[in-house]
């Protein structure tokens, strides 16, 4: 019998073709636990199809869906139809076009999906998963502003800038980082630092390998750190620009 794995999945950005490809490459089965880091939409043309796929996947697999900032923006538009020019310029236009072809029942089902997303997942092995970060030095339970969980970039910036010689007992070690053995995030593509594979800084793992831009989509086994990747997502959508 296959040992149960915990697999973390980076930002998809409506790249359903990449998601299907990488699930196959990782040989994902119903014995695996799947933790999705958010940003399911805004980028490629298959936003509706991606969320449909995830809703169906949860019926057969153990799935945890975290809230990304793009999911929050898309959900707000679905519920209010308020224009947000910044969102439209950063992937939202592709989601709008996708949802314009969806029926009312599909949209209602997707709103329920977005509403059910969670801000973070703390596992018993002292690993925490969230889309972006948190700012409170006491940990996520003390966060003042819930939007930080899916908008913050300072956690990753802090981890990247930390002196690698510092240990947790160093007097200048950031207190934000001491509460969890490992922190898994997406949100800020590692392509910004010239990488296309999962990157670790301090105890923070960034799994956003740039699927919305020129990178692949990634799944990683949180225990072994083995990972699988799709083809660069833009090659799967050759007639589209994504968020490039």
Per-residue pLDDT of the chain (244 residues; tens, 9 = 90+): 455 899 999 999 999 999 999 999 999 999 999 999 999 999 999 999 999 999 999 999 999 999 999 999 999 999 999 989 999 999 999 999 999 999 999 999 999 999 999 999 999 889 999 999 999 999 999 999 999 999 999 999 999 999 887 878 788 889 999 999 999 999 999 999 999 999 999 999 999 999 999 999 999 999 999 999 999 999 999 999 999 9
Candidates 182, 184, 191, 230; CA nearest to 207 is 184
Structure tokens at 220: 């990683």
| Residue matched to tokens 């999911």 | 71
Structure tokens at 49: 């199809």
- Residue 212's region, left for phi above 0, alpha for psi from -120 to 50, else beta, is alpha
Beta carbons within 10 angstroms of residue 113's beta carbon: 18
Beta carbons within 10 angstroms of residue 89's beta carbon: 10
Name all domains of the chain by residue range, CATH numbers in brackets.
Answer: 6-130+183-236 (3.60.21.10)
Cα distance between residue 181 and residue 188, in whole Å: 21
């Amino acid at each position: 019998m296959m040992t149960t794995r915990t697999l973390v999945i980076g930002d998809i950005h409506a790249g359903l073709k990449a998601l299907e490809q990488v699930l196959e490459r990782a040989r994902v089965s119903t014995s695996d636990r799947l933790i999705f880091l958010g940003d399911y939409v805004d980028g490629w043309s298959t936003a509706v199809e991606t969320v449909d796929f995830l809703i169906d996947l949860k019926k057969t697999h153990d799935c945890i869906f975290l809230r990304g900032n793009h999911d929050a923006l898309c959900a707000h538009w679905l519920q209010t139809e308020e224009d947000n020019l910044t969102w439209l310029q950063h992937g939202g236009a592709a989601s709008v076009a996708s949802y314009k072809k969806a029926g009312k029942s599909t949209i209602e089902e997707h709103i329920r999906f977005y509403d059910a997303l969670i801000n973070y997942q703390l596992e018993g092995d002292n690993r925490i998963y969230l889309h972006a970060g948190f700012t409170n030095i006491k940990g996520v339970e003390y966060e003042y502003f819930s939007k930080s969980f899916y908008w913050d970039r300072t956690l990753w910036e802090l981890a990247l800038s930390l002196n690698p010689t510092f240990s947790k007992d160093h007097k200048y070690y950031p207190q934000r980082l001491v509460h969890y053995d490992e922190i898994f995030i997406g949100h800020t593509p590692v392509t910004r630092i010239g990488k296309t594979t999962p990157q670790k800084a301090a105890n923070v793992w960034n799994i956003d390998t740039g699927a919305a831009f020129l990178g692949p989509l990634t799944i990683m086994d949180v225990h072994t750190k083995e990972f699988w990747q799709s083809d660069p997502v833009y090659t799967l959508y050759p007639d589209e620009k994504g968020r490039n």
